[in-house]
Structure 1
């Protein structure tokens, strides 16, 4: 059932194989078995165009997701009585967070406990699909875009700031206006929703900058700015024992009145939230309160 739900989420056999980290033949075998047992095809398979659920497939997927959610809760409860295999926390995060602060946060959560961690890093649509399919227990992401559960917990507001080369003429200023940046080359963190959010900020200044370097990697953004490709706009900086900025980089606040995204933690348990997730949410909130906004 997990393989078939993954096919629906990714829209292809190959995508499901990558997401489940298993051979495509295993995905195909699961589909054939389900088709035979249901007496109907669950997906229309179109060469070069991926797959789409049939009406029977939609019914199967709806029931399968409910059962997978129940399975995840059952396994979580039984972990408390298992003294041979340590329980595993499966958590998803917005891709850049994996290097910026998640290890520091999760180290505090697991300290003194026999808990293993599996960290899934992805874009927000991926995170939401992993949450829906019970591949992860919870996700940590921005409140940008739709789809977060209504009871998602806010952790910290993170206003945008500018990342510049140390020799940039504006690096000596205490703060920077967006309007002063629009004629300089821009290094864009090109992730879905993130890139749209970053570029929309410049609409306030009345002009968008020339994109000189585009990458999906937070670390590549920092490297490009350090190499002189231009400036960048970001919301987070590395926290704690992660990879700090090089001496070639400086960060300055933006004085413009801009929309401020919030880091959220979300799950699908609703009011039946397990104790470990309540503890994780409380620890995450105190983590950001402790390090303070100047640190991130």
Structure 2
């Protein structure tokens, strides 16, 4: 029996993480047709469907979810073996600031894999709001910052790309509420939001005002974890990027969103802040590793 092909597994992980073939293709430096062919061969080798394809992108099947964990470990072992025989490892102290919208269910596992790959790297991780990370770009509070911006949409809403920012991944935004508990929503819309310093808060309010949709802030959370809990408790609706939608919360179905006159939402983009002048070699090297690990 033949084993799995590492490049096919790498493609599978990238597609599962990106949510679509088109988003994964540039990360893999492949055409979309090549990505599709890699996945076809992988499913043929596995003997079972691994991805469900739909209008909102792709998601792993139950078999795909099981393979995803194995694939990550196999790719990590492959990287560890290469680093070991080449004598490549990161050593030293690294202060990392990560936006609290970033892949909330997966970040702990990703950081654990980074530590296992580079056991001599001393990681100090702070989860912060994007606005605080952006404001700290010129101070010495952290070495590397991962922030989020709303992609500028046609018509002028959203944020313009900033010089030196390194895009890692994009995710769609969705209007969300408590799973199975959104039928009674009415105007003025009960919004669950972060404080008004949050760029996503500002964007949502601006979009609703532009669409002339009445709203009220029913709950203000101090962080994304609190916002997720308030949504699951049915305290209102909000918008979240795909990977930040927790159990108990779901995207509003199109008919509900249409009846409430909710405007269409763009994507968000996660970016590494630009390097500082005179950056230490360990930070420079870690930036490249993180771009691969977090993308």
TM-score tier by shorter-chain length is 0.5 to 0.7
Q: Deviations over 1:120-178 (max 9, x none)?
A: 2323343234432233121111125989862211122222212212333549xxxxxxx
Separation of aligned partners in 2, 1:191 and 1:120: 21
Of 221, 236, 243, 1:215 maps to 221
Moved more, 161-170 or 147-156: 147-156
Are 1:160 and 1:253, in contact at CA under 8 Å, matched by a contact in 2?
no
Tell me the secondary structure at the aligned position of residue 266 of structure 2.
coil
Which digits, 9 at most, give the CA deviation of each residue in 1:197-226, with x for residues without a partner?
Answer: 121222343224122111122222222223
Q: 1:283–1:92: structure 2 CA closer, same or farther, 3 Å change rule?
A: same
The answer to whether 1:259 aligns with 2:263 is no
| Structure 1 CA distance for aligned equivalents of residues 173 and 214 of structure 2 | 16
Query: Does the 8 A contact of 2:178 with 2:232 survive in 1?
Result: yes
- 1:150 equivalent to 2:160? Answer no
Instruction: From 81, 95, 98, give the equivalent of 2:100.
Output: 95
Moved over 6 A (4+): 145-148, 270-273
Aligned to 1:118: 124
Indicate how the Cα distance of structure 1 residues 206 and 196 shifts in structure 2: closer, same or farther if over 3 A, else same. Answer: same
CA contact (8 A) 1:89 1:117 kept: yes
> Is the partner of 2:172 in helix, strand or coil?
coil
Instruction: State the SS of the aligned residue for 1:250.
Output: strand
The 1:228–1:276 alpha-carbon spacing in structure 2 relative to 1, beyond 3 Å, is: closer
TM-score scaled by length of structure 1: 0.52
Partner of 2:139: 133
Distance across 2 between alignment mates of 1:120 and 1:250: 27
> Residue 289 of structure 2: which of 279, 292, 296 is its match?
279
Give the unaligned 5+ runs of structure 2: 1-88, 151-157, 258-262
**Normalised TM-score (structure 2):** 0.52
Deviations, residues 178-208 of structure 1 (Å, cap 9, x unaligned): xx86543221222512311121222343224
Q: CA RMSD in A?
A: 3.6
Q: Equivalent residue of 1:151, what SS?
A: coil
Distance 1:188 1:122, change over 3 A: same
Q: Distance in 2 between matches of 1:132 and 1:122?
A: 16
Structure number, greater radius of gyration: 1
- Structure 1 partner of 2:250: 250
CA contact (8 A) 1:100 1:236 kept: no
SS in 1 for 2:288: helix
Q: Does the residue aligned with 1:116 lie in a helix, a strand or coil?
A: strand
CA distances 1:227-258 after superposition (whole Å, capped 9, x unpaired): 2322222224349xxxx523xx3234768543
Which residue number corresponds to residue 173 of structure 2? Answer: 160
Report how many residues are paired. 188
Q: How does 1:1-296 map to 2 (within 5 A)?
A: 87-97=92-102, 99-114=104-119, 115-144=121-150, 150-170=163-183, 182-190=187-195, 192=197, 193-238=199-244, 244-246=246-248, 249-252=249-252, 256-269=263-276, 274-285=284-295
